[in-house]
Amino acid sequence: MYGLVACIGLFLAALLVWKRSSSFRYAPGPYRWPVAGNAFQVSTEQSWLQFSAWGREFGDMVYLRIFSRSLLILNSTESIKDLFEKKSSNFSDRPRRVMGELSGFGPSLVFKSGDESVRQSRKLLHSELNFRAVTENHAGVIEENARRLCLSHIQRPEDFLKNIQDMAVSIIMRVAYGHVMSVGSEPDELTNLAKEVMRNLSLVLTPNKYLVDGLPFLRFIPAFFPGAKFQNQAAQCRDTLSRFWNTPFERVVEQMKSGNALPSLISNGLKTNDSEADTDPEILKKAAGDMYGAGTDTNISAISSFFLAMTLHRNIQQRAQEEILSVIGPYRLPLLADRPNLPFVNAIVQEVFRWNPALPFGKLTGHSARVSDVYRGFDIPAGTLVIANIWGLLHDEKWYPDPLTFNPSRHLSAHPPPVPTTFAFGWGRRSCPGYNLAESTVFMAVAMTLATCDISPPVDTQGNDVLPSVKYTSGMIIHPMPFQCRIVPRSPEALELLLNTC
């Protein structure tokens, strides 16, 4: 009965939208069927590939309709800048996700449209994560965790993907909460809680997973009603999220009272010259949670991509190692301050962000038109979901020839292409406030690994290299499919340096 009512409601809503849409002039796109629109044409697997193909066929703006929802795919920097920067007052909202609201994520920057609390949250994050703050306040934390990462790789190479996860989580937990993860131990309660929140967020963001996102009136159905399993799931998510927002915050407050709180977003936000600040505690809690939510999986993806690339391209690895040796020498390990003097290592970092960007669409949720607009003579109805196809931009052959090939040298040419990180971290008012921390984290992981480790593919019983395939997951955040590689210390001296500094 529930399914029948839902289907009828969806059909009637889509029919109404279809009839109204005949008076609009939309951007080009594939044929839209009555009622369903393009619902059965949009792939749920790596849809950025399909959007790129449609971009080549229809142009840099592609209009789609999924039942009652309008989508506009942007495939050029011109259209992205025009809408997300020049018209940012109208295109900085977030599309509504009812399941996200039911699950408690509504106040998060990922879901919340622009208002005063969003501005305050972004201001807090910028103050903690701007370039100067990262280089002066967080460089030591990043460098320490990069050293621990490499030592973990050498001691437990079979767990290299887990080692990467531990590094990314450890840095964010330290910067956001002043929480120090124990080396080599099982994740503690707070870390497990954070990881559970990320799993829940991933589910909530999965396209077309919850019918309530397409039929918002279903949010009023009680949990005991047949087919309302999503209500129980949402309640569990709310409980976990509430504990994640409050537990570390309360812990920092107690540490501050006892005088042993480490500097962090929370502790810095709660005090100004040893006096109470005017920061709203609720906004501070959410900002710290947003730092974790936006900064872990994306860094894990980028660093994992680096290991995949080095497994496949030993020549690139060797060239970078030679650069590090010539600049830094064999008697110390890389520092964040060495970054300006390592152009090829920096080129590897840029190519990592370009090759398979963690966020193919630059955002977890996209943008939404606050009010109806007209651009290039095409109508953009209010509520349209506007998506920047970042993957497509970073694989545009006019900028990046042979785009599927990992080639850092392209960024060192006399006429280099656009810097990939200018695309990868979003545009306009809602660009990622943590990009300095993310770039610094990936750079240190790359530089420290190249300085201390050799990465190579596994071998078969005949001693032949077994090269991994370049395959990635689907979703709003993508990761390399699990692969294997060999990791050994570059030299006894490199291992000794790690042992003496970890």
Query: Residues forming the annotated binding site for heme?
Result: 432
The token pair at 496 is: 């000794």
Q: What's the token pair of residue 358?
A: 């963690």
State how far the Cα of 180 lies from the Cα of 207, in Å rounded to an integer.
Answer: 35
Rounded to an integer, what distance in angstroms lies between the CA atom of residue 356 and that of residue 220?
Answer: 40
- DSSP conformation class of 339: G
Q: Please report how many Cα atoms fall inside a 13 Å half-sphere around the Cα of residue 172, on the Cβ side.
A: 29
Is the distance from CB of 283 to CB of 124 less than 8 angstroms?
A: yes
CA 135 to chain centre: 21
Binding residues: 432
Q: DSSP letter at 93? A: B
DSSP 8-class letter at 70: E
Residue whose C-alpha is closest to residue 197's, from 169, 166, 219, 164 = 169
- Supply φ then ψ for residue 299, to 5 degrees: -70, -40
Contacts of 15 (CB under 8 A, 6+ apart): 34, 35
* Residue 495 structure tokens: 């291992």
Dist CA 392 CA 334 (whole Å)? 34
Main-chain phi, psi angles of 374, to 5 degrees: -130, 130
- Comparing CA positions, the residue from 314, 315, 339, 310 lying closest to residue 327 is 339
Q: CA–CA separation, 289 vs 416, rounded Å?
A: 37
Contacts of 84 (CB under 8 A, 6+ apart): 91, 92, 367, 386, 388, 427, 428, 429, 430
Distance CA 177, CA 251 (A): 9
* Local structure of 232: helix, strand or coil: helix
- Calculate the CA 125 to chain-centre distance: 16
